[in-house]
A = this chain, B = another copy of it.
Amino acid sequence: MNTFETPIRVGSDAPRIARAALTRLMEPADLPGLALVRAAGPVEALAFIRGSAAGSPELERAMSAVLADAGVPRWPGLADALTRWRPRVGDLAPERDLAMIGRLGGTLLIPEDDAWPAALGDLELAAPIALWLRGRLRELPPLERCVAVVGSRDSTAYGANVAGEVAHGLVGRGFTVISGGAYGIDAHAHRGALGGNPGRWPATVAIMAGGLDRFYPAGNEELLRAVADAGALVAEVPPGTNPTRYRFLQRNRLIAALAAATVVVEARWRSGALNTAHHADALSRPVGAVPGSVYSANSAGCHRILREGSAVCVTDVAEVAELAGAAGSNLAAEPVGAAARHDGLAVEDLLLMDALPVASVTTPQKLCSVAGLGLPAVLAGLGRLEVMGLAERGGAGWRRKR
């Protein structure tokens, strides 16, 4: 009975239609539901929930095995799960949903497609049933070219600047900026990425918590249309679905999984952006946090994850790119800054330079006492400092050269 191991392919459209329907029946990350899809395949899973195929102890055992593999040793059982799914069967119209996303210029990506993002495999059983996609893209950029830039809705001018600059700089370096399409930091990240306007690769992608037939929040409609034109809007829920708190939290796992690194620009002590950061950390994806004023409540969440050691301090786009890059690539350059002329002097020459007067001149013998050095060291050191332009002869002795 390997039907439960291998998905049945009843024609090329059947799995897509079944998965379209399953995204409406099951909430994101419904683990028993995902176990059913994995054990029976999408077409059989849908037929079973609709009541047109019978369950069996074998199916339930196969699901239990999948759940146990995913670290869920006990679950209420298939009958209990059916009470969650069956009330929505009457709402199903997957062909209508697929037609609608087509009219919107979009598509439904399913795991059976070559373009299915391999990165979602890291979510294991919690990988989405399918991804609704709307916009210019027909597939998402590869993981290593994607960086998530996220943060809270109530951003400050500081956070808005940093988000915009980092996103703009990332696009300039060939990355795609992933964010959540919300007000505040998310919007500034998308806008900064759009301003980078690369043309040759997708600037930005928004992962949404609700259906892609509507733009949410409404105030971001113009921005989200621009994001779709330059990249894509993505959701695991079908058209017509409201973004709920639960769906926002689950959406965050997709942002974390689809980006090579996640950067939190501003977040309060409790913030959805920290939830995204924790998802990324759990997936062993690097997390960056932008520091800010200790007096800004909007940076308290960033400081929290820095303090907890779950994020690395990032202060500019080079450091963010380094976080996202494979070891050795995209390495941030060290600021050169004000290297002083005396940098790198040996201790004895440093002692000697400290001992040299500026306004008058002094003898090597006197320098021995002031610097605490022997005469050979003083004479050799004066020669070195003269060559470096740090000391000069003047009249009967030596002085520091300005």
Q: A-side interface residues toward B, CB under 8 Å? A: 25-27, 30, 80, 82-88, 90-91, 158, 161-162, 242, 244-247, 268-270, 290-295, 299-300, 302-303, 306-307, 312-316, 319, 335, 337-340, 342-343, 347, 350-351, 353-355, 365, 368-369, 372-377
Q: How far is A374 from B49 in the complex, measured between Cα atoms in Å?
A: 13
> Given A291-B303, A351-B244, A83–B372 Cβ distance below 8 Å?
no
Output the nearest chain B residue to A366 by Cβ-Cβ distance: B87
Please, which residues of chain B bring their CB within 8 A of the CB of A340? Answer: 270
Query: Counting chain B CB atoms within 10 Å of each CB, which of A85, A88, A374 scores highest?
Result: A374
Contacting pair B290 A292 (CB below 8 A)? no
Contacting pair A339 B270 (CB below 8 A)? yes
Contacting pair A291 B313 (CB below 8 A)? yes
Q: How far is A224 from B303 in the complex, measured between Cα atoms in Å?
A: 34
Output the nearest chain B residue to A87 by Cβ-Cβ distance: B368
Please, which residues of chain B bring their CB within 8 A of the CB of A313? Answer: 291, 303, 306-307, 313
Contacting pair B351 A246 (CB below 8 A)? yes
Cβ-neighbour of A372 out of B26, B161, B337 (below 8 A): B26
Output the nearest chain B residue to A89 by Cβ-Cβ distance: B369
Q: How far is A230 from B343 in the complex, measured between Cα atoms in Å?
A: 37
Contacting pair A299 B291 (CB below 8 A)? yes
Contacting pair B245 A337 (CB below 8 A)? no
Contacting pair A335 B300 (CB below 8 A)? yes
A67–chain B nearest beta-carbon distance, Å: 15
A151–chain B nearest beta-carbon distance, Å: 14
Cβ-neighbour of A306 out of B26, B83, B268, B291 (below 8 A): B291
Q: How far is A270 from B377 in the complex, measured between Cα atoms in Å?
A: 28
A306–chain B nearest beta-carbon distance, Å: 4
Cβ-neighbour of A294 out of B242, B270, B307, B316 (below 8 A): B316
Contacting pair B83 A374 (CB below 8 A)? yes
Contacting pair B376 A83 (CB below 8 A)? yes
Please, which residues of chain B bring their CB within 8 A of the CB of A314? Answer: 307
Please, which residues of chain B bring their CB within 8 A of the CB of A291? Answer: 291-294, 299, 302-303, 306, 313
Cβ-neighbour of A315 out of B86, B247, B303, B372 (below 8 A): B303
Output the nearest chain B residue to A322 by Cβ-Cβ distance: B307
Please, which residues of chain B bring their CB within 8 A of the CB of A161? Answer: 295
A sample of 16 inter-chain contacts (CB < 8 A) reads A27-B351, A30-B372, A84-B372, A84-B374, A87-B365, A87-B373, A87-B374, A161-B295, A244-B354, A245-B342, A247-B354, A270-B343, A291-B306, A303-B315, A306-B313, A307-B312
A72–chain B nearest beta-carbon distance, Å: 13
Contacting pair A269 B372 (CB below 8 A)? no
> Given A246-B347, A303-B315, A306-B306, A84–B292 Cβ distance below 8 Å?
no
Cβ-neighbour of A88 out of B30, B86, B369 (below 8 A): B369
Contacting pair A293 B158 (CB below 8 A)? yes
Q: How far is A302 from B293 in the complex, measured between Cα atoms in Å?
A: 12
Output the nearest chain B residue to A353 by Cβ-Cβ distance: B245
Contacting pair B294 A290 (CB below 8 A)? yes
A251–chain B nearest beta-carbon distance, Å: 13
Q: How far is A245 from B390 in the complex, measured between Cα atoms in Å?
A: 15
Q: How far is A92 from B83 in the complex, measured between Cα atoms in Å?
A: 94
Please, which residues of chain B bring their CB within 8 A of the CB of A84? Answer: 368, 372-374, 377
Q: How far is A335 from B303 in the complex, measured between Cα atoms in Å?
A: 12
Query: Counting chain B CB atoms within 10 Å of each CB, which of A26, A161, A306 scores highest?
Result: A306
Please, which residues of chain B bring their CB within 8 A of the CB of A351? Answer: 27, 244, 246
